[in-house]
Amino acid sequence: MTRNAPKHDIDENGLEVGKPKDWAAGIPGVAVSLFRGVEQMGTGRTVKTLRLLNQREGFDCPGCAWPEPRAEDGEHRKLAEFCENGAKAVAEEATKRRVGPEFFAEHSISSLAEKTDYWLGQQGRLTEPVVLREGATHYEPISWDAAFELIAERLRGLAGPDEAVFYTSGRTSNEAAFLYQLLVRSFGTNNLPDCSNMCHESSGAALAETTGIGKGSVSLADIHRADLIVVVGQNPGTNHPRMLSALEEAKAHGAKVVAVNPLPEAGLMRFKNPQNVRGVVGKGTPLADEFAQIRLGGDLAFFQAIGHLLLSWEEAAPGTVLDREFIESSTHGFADYAERVRELDWHAVDTATGLPREDIVRIARMIADSERTIYCWAMGLTQHKHAVPTIKEISNVALLRGMIGKPGAGLCPVRGHSNVQGDRTMGIWEKMPEKFLSRLESEFGIPVPRKHGWDTVDSIRAMRDGRAKVFLAMGGNFAAATPDSELTEHALRSCELTVHVSTKLNRSHVVHGKSALILPTLGRTERDVQGGGEQFVTVEDSMSAVHTSRGRLKPASEHLLSEVAIICRLARALFGAGRAVPWADFERDYDLIRERIARVVPGCDDYNARVRQPDGFVLPHAPRDSREFAGTKNGKANFSANKLEFPEVPAGRLLLQTLRSHDQYNTTIYGLSDRYRGIEDGRRVVFVHPDDLASLGFADGELADLVSEWNGDERRVHRFRIVAYPTARGCAAAYFPEANGLVPLDSVAETSNTPTSKSIIIRLEAPN
Ligand code: SF4
């Protein structure tokens, strides 16, 4: 039964557009947090859950992967160590609303398919496993045993293990991720796409080449100690809101902040910290000392220009700008890089960035003068065709000044979903290195496949073409997270069986294979009791800190299983009980899983003891810890010489990015208030600069179809309300998943295969 859930779906006619804000958080942030908590959970439960959120004895926020302060760095957690969006994520999970068998009896699949993700998600927590049998119109209850038997039978019936795809979302715990990849590899495939394929894959690909490790090299304490923080293609106010407190603290110590972004996001401008007086009654803390309103995809050119200026100043006054000692002792490729950027095409830089040249010079001067610089970035950089070389250019600039492996300096790709980094550490990757695979093989005495599997884009292609027939998702909302919505939905519908391990209803449950299962699981906030007693799980944050997460609430239903239990029982149904892997023991006692993690996963020695330390432990990172780059092929940090690339947009067209509203996290839509951008009660909006609107013959308030153009193909989404907005000239923005249908599946970043969701050429058309 669903209680207090919205009866009606989004009515775009109710959309209201106001003025964008130039500050983030403050009292409204607190009010919204409390209101959403009480609305979904009631007062007592709101207090009970929020006081445990991100605390040592509590549970890890299911929102983003921003780290907690660590005592060993001399830092302390606050009583309220969470943000508005963390509170919303918890409210969604710990809601009292329920979706049980009677809900599915009442609602046919075709009627649910008409609903938006917002409405589906608002119905509440799933309580029992349900099945959609071939040709049926409704999901119906199924026992857990029958569900596992159904999956096992379909998997065994495939022509080969590569006909199955096993997706992971970034909420999955380390223990569940480790077992999941073990199950998948025991089955015989590396088809392990994950949400990282669509977000920071480009960062991993670039950093693996430049520093030898595809992770960031800074801690929270480094951010507090930096004297310059360059935030590029990132909107921390919505996507990693506690980062604003970190920026505020850095600024209190004298740091400067440079923001490089096409939109003047409120969270880049000013932060009203609700935990201090100045944030409540005062004007808050101004954040960006410099705001470079760059065009979408202009960042590679921007950083080449910075590199060019640093080199030219060094040439003019040798020994004053570059860290010569570091470059000579620890890096490779400097000469080729220097030759490339010395010849900079400033005209191309002007076109690519749209920035006044003096602004670039001023920022370069700040970088030259800084002793401790941190570069942070997110999807604004990673979802372009040239994303990987763009991130390499940031690396180049950092290496020029030796900004790696020293306190207060480094590279910081800010990760999205809470355990997306941990899942990769635990082996969720279609191309894990040989070292990991051979350790897995010898630990469990099973043959482990070596042929690379499919990532997200390749999995969609395989399902579309009938090469993949079973799709299993450990969390997430694949249909809404992926590009080319129509094609992806067709791909999912082409499967024989789709299976989703989920806490709540979402679009992927109504875009199903010929048969489908929904397997409801415990959330982070809930107690996890197994045969061996109460369990906890572990996660890794964006800065490689691994720690425990322990839920305290009574589970939403007595029928829920933990992700670990689901994997172990599926494995037993699939392989039988007599195999080398003790699945039943793993389900009973998660310490036994962690013992295996310790023996297989590099850096996790003595895992059980170290995660039980008050703040857990930090995984090793040689460039950060000792300025060593053993992970690269040549043992050095690598400069790279990259072609100056940027998206070329034909006249009469705009370059569109998809983005989140402030009231959503990834594909979960919490509500209809994007208050920082002035949007209320609707989502089908497209933000366009007023001068572009004038030159295209459109006006604020009109409706338009958005038509993307790529390699002669067109894709269309209908009836978006045009909002005149101070975005960079030539650039537009619209929310995902509504605009995902415009992103062609084959338009991907080179090397990383990440869909180019920040780089879509569109035209506006008046609707028919
Ligand atoms: S910053 Fe991220 S991890 Fe922290 S409370 Fe907010 S959403 Fe959760």
User: Are 25 and 17 in contact, with CB atoms under 8 Å apart?
Assistant: no
The answer to whether the peptide bond before residue 62 is cis (omega within 30 degrees of 0) is no
SS3 568: helix
Distance between Cα 352 and ligand 1 center (Å) = 33
pLDDT for 278 equals: 73
User: Are 20 and 725 in contact, with CB atoms under 8 Å apart?
Assistant: yes
CA-nearest residue, atom 8 of ligand 1: 86
pTM over 0.95: yes
Distance between Cα 574 and ligand 1 center (Å) = 37
Rounded to whole angstroms, how far apart are CA atoms 207 and 404?
Answer: 12
Q: In this model, does residue 650 exceed pLDDT 60?
A: yes
One-letter identity of residue 702: E
User: Are 226 and 372 in contact, with CB atoms under 8 Å apart?
Assistant: yes
Ligand 1, residues 53, 59, 82: which to mutate, most atoms within 8 A of Cβ? 82
- Tokens representing 127 are 């309580």
One-letter identity of residue 369: D
Ligand 1, residues 52, 64, 664: which to mutate, most atoms within 8 A of Cβ? 64
Rounded to whole angstroms, how far apart are CA atoms 45 and 742?
Answer: 41
CB atoms closer than 10 angstroms to residue 467: 16
Closest ligand 1 atom to 665 CA = 7
Helix (H) or strand (E) holding 501: strand 497-502
CA-nearest residue, atom 3 of ligand 1: 64
How do strand 373-377 and strand 228-232 relate by DSSP bridges? parallel
Q: How confident is the model at residue 80 (pLDDT cuts 50, 70, 90)?
A: confident
Domain regions of the chain by residue span: 16-93, 99-198+419-615, 201-414+633-638, 654-765
User: Are 743 and 760 in contact, with CB atoms under 8 Å apart?
Assistant: yes
pLDDT in tens, 210-231: 999 999 999 999 999 999 999 9
pLDDT for 193 equals: 98
Helix (H) or strand (E) holding 238: helix 236-239
Q: What is the CATH number of domain 99-198+419-615?
A: 3.40.50.740
Tell me which fold the domain 654-765 belongs to. Barwin-like endoglucanases (2.40.40)
Distance between Cα 24 and ligand 1 center (Å) = 15
Closest ligand 1 atom to 81 CA = 5
Instruction: Please report where in the chains the tokens 């039980």 appear, as a residue.
Output: 612
What mean pLDDT do residues 72-91 have?
Answer: 89
Q: What is the CATH number of domain 201-414+633-638?
A: 3.40.228.10
Q: In this model, does residue 3 exceed pLDDT 70?
A: no
Cα dist from 267 to 199, 236, 679, whole Å: 20, 6, 16
What mean pLDDT do residues 167-179 have?
Answer: 96
- One DSSP character per residue, 351-399 reads HHH---HHHHHHHHHHHHH-SSEEEEE-HHHHTSTTHHHHHHHHHHHHH
One-letter identity of residue 683: R
pLDDT in tens, 673-721: 999 999 999 999 999 999 999 999 999 999 999 999 999 999 999 999 9
Q: Is ligand 1 within 6 A of the CB of residue 25?
A: no
pLDDT in tens, 462-520: 999 999 999 999 999 999 999 999 999 999 999 999 999 999 999 999 999 999 999 99
- One DSSP character per residue, 181-236 reads HHHHHHHT-----BGGGGTTHHHHHHHHHHTSSSS----HHHHHH-SEEEEES--H
Closest ligand 1 atom to 418 CA = 3
Closest ligand 1 atom to 82 CA = 5
Q: In this model, does residue 1 exceed pLDDT 60?
A: no
Q: Is ligand 1 within 6 A of the CB of residue 63?
A: yes
